[in-house]
Amino acid sequence: MSIRKNRWWSRLTMELIALSGIALLTAILVSRAVGTAAIQWAVTEAYSGTKYEDKTEEVLKDLDQFIVKNKVTEQNIELLVAWVQRQRDVYVTFYRDIDPILGPYMAPDSPETDSWDDDDALYMEGEAENPDEIDSAELYPTSNYHDVMLYDGTVIKVDMEVYLDVDNLYWVDIAEYGSGAIVFILLLFALIHRKIRYVNQLEQDLKVLGGGNLEYPITIKGRDELTSLAIGIESLKNGILEEQQMKAEAEKANMELVTAMSHDLRTPLTSLIGYLELLNMHRYEDEEQLKKYLEYCRKKAFQMKKVSDRLFEYFLVYGREEKGLQLQKIPSVELAEDLCNGQFFDWQDHGGTIECQIEELKGIVQVDSEYMQRVMDNLISNLKKYGDPVYPLRIEASEQPDMLHIQVTNHIRDRKDHLESTQIGLKTCRKIMENHGGNFTWKQENNEFMITITLPLVKA
């Protein structure tokens, strides 16, 4: 069995990466949409009603108070820098007519703040020789320009842009990233829920198996590593079941064998002991009776030998150590012809007939002659015990893809003294053929008993 190497790009890994990517992309799109909508809502909420105008009036009032408190005039106009620095959300530029006298890009010691030189005037729209020709509506839009009086009575213009403090923007970030995280987690869970459910199902199956119910089927679905794991568990379970079944069969066969052996051994052994006691006490009338007692002892001894042979066959089937096979290559046709012409003399002597049907056989098989002879001996023994010689023994041989098939069929005769067979001989044959890489099966239909032998074909 081949062992797969660990690879990071396994099917399950790729599926999880793809699902995570889909969840992440969807979460980013949802997060951006939520963030855009939240920002629009926060800005609209911040600038709704008269909040902007109220804030502007509040800033202008604070500016007036600063001018009065610090006595700001044209000569010390740079003092307004301190006020500007104190404002957090205000953009402001101070004008006298159209001349900027103090703005965000002017240093406090700039020469432009020291005097009011009309020759250096800056115009808002185009260049005009005479400032009086410039429309004040064009110079000072009513939305941003405001009149402010200095401490000495000089009126200046203030270009002021007030930015409201949008505290809700912090909640916008929370909503944006929070919604993205929630969507990612929920969507990822929804996408991999099927895998999680399958893992939970496997866990439940293992708990059932752990409780001792090895007949419970393992759920197998999908085509990834979880499926391979489930198939592996199912194979392991089936292996344990097969081992338990073989163990149960062995125990059953053992009990049947012990029962049969105890009966088969006790009867001839009791008779043998009885005759030996008579011989030991010289309780026979003449030489003829002596020979008769000895013949009885001989028969009982051979009967016990047959029982011991059956015991040997039992250990051949269920023993842990088996003799290695000495395989030899022979043509399939030779094996079939030997079966028809040479193996069933005893059956023919018993009054039976043979019908052979051998197709064209061109293949070669590998067999151990000693073990194959044991198979044939078991077949002959069963025929003599249960076969009806009135009906012919049918032998059919054919080659199917990579296998030689031999089928032996006989008619079962009626026996009043029939006892249930332990099938030790048949199981021995099956074990031998399995060791050859083939098979040995049997079945009974009506009054016919059919045996099928298969052997693998090999190259010449």
Mean pLDDT value across residues 155-160: 85
Helix, coil or strand: residue 399: strand
What's the CATH number where 389 sits?
A: 3.30.565.10
User: What one-letter code names the amino acid at 226?
Assistant: L
Structure tokens, 410: 């006989």
Mean pLDDT value across residues 99-115: 45
Instruction: Judge if 276 and 352 occupy the same domain.
Output: no
Instruction: Judge if 314 and 432 occupy the same domain.
Output: no
In whole angstroms, what separates CA 3 from the centre of its chain? 16
Instruction: Judge if 120 and 198 occupy the same domain.
Output: no
Instruction: Return the number of other C-beta atoms located less than 10 Å from residue 460's C-beta.
Output: 8
CA separation for the pair 37, 44 (Å, rounded): 11
Among 162, 182, 197, residue at a domain's last position? 162
Most distant CA pair in the chain, distance: 174
Q: How many domains does the chain have?
A: 4
Reply yes or no on whether the pLDDT at 47 is more than 80: no
Enter the pTM of the model: 0.43
Among 318, 344, 372, residue at a domain's last position? 318
Instruction: Judge if 265 and 382 occupy the same domain.
Output: no
Reply yes or no on whether the pLDDT at 268 is more than 90: no
Return the higher-pLDDT residue of 5 and 301.
301
Instruction: Judge if 33 and 172 occupy the same domain.
Output: yes
Instruction: Judge if 275 and 379 occupy the same domain.
Output: no
Among 210, 238, 272, residue at a domain's last position? 210
pLDDT tens for 183-222 read 988 888 887 877 888 888 888 888 888 887 878 888 888 7
Of all residues in the chain, what percent carry a pLDDT higher than 90? 8
As to burial, measured by CB atoms within 10 angstroms (0-12 exposed, 13-18 middle, 19+ buried), residue 144 is: middle
Instruction: Judge if 153 and 89 occupy the same domain.
Output: yes
Residue pair 406/441 in contact by the 8 Å Cβ criterion? no
Q: Domain for residue 370, yes or no?
A: yes
User: Which ranges constitute the DSSP H helices of 211-331?
Assistant: 225-280, 287-318
The pLDDT confidence band at residue 239, using thresholds 50, 70 and 90, is confident
Instruction: For 207, list phi and psi in degrees, rounded to 5.
Output: -65, -40
CA separation for the pair 430, 157 (Å, rounded): 115
Instruction: Judge if 334 and 448 occupy the same domain.
Output: yes
Instruction: Judge if 81 and 98 occupy the same domain.
Output: yes
Instruction: Judge if 55 and 38 occupy the same domain.
Output: no
Q: Domain for residue 391, yes or no?
A: yes
Instruction: Judge if 267 and 416 occupy the same domain.
Output: no
Residue pair 365/329 in contact by the 8 Å Cβ criterion? yes
Looking at residue 102, its pLDDT comes to 53
Mean pLDDT value across residues 227-242: 85
User: DSSP code of 387?
Assistant: B
Instruction: For 61, list phi and psi in degrees, rounded to 5.
Output: -65, -40
Instruction: Judge if 382 and 299 occupy the same domain.
Output: no
Q: Domain for residue 120, yes or no?
A: yes
Reply yes or no on whether the pLDDT at 113 is more than 60: no
Return the higher-pLDDT residue of 269 and 66.
66
Looking at residue 106, its pLDDT comes to 43
Nearest by Cα to 158 from 69, 57, 82 = 57
User: Which range of residues forms the domain containing residue 343?
Assistant: 328-458
pLDDT tens for 71-94 read 988 888 888 888 888 887 788 888
CA separation for the pair 103, 376 (Å, rounded): 120
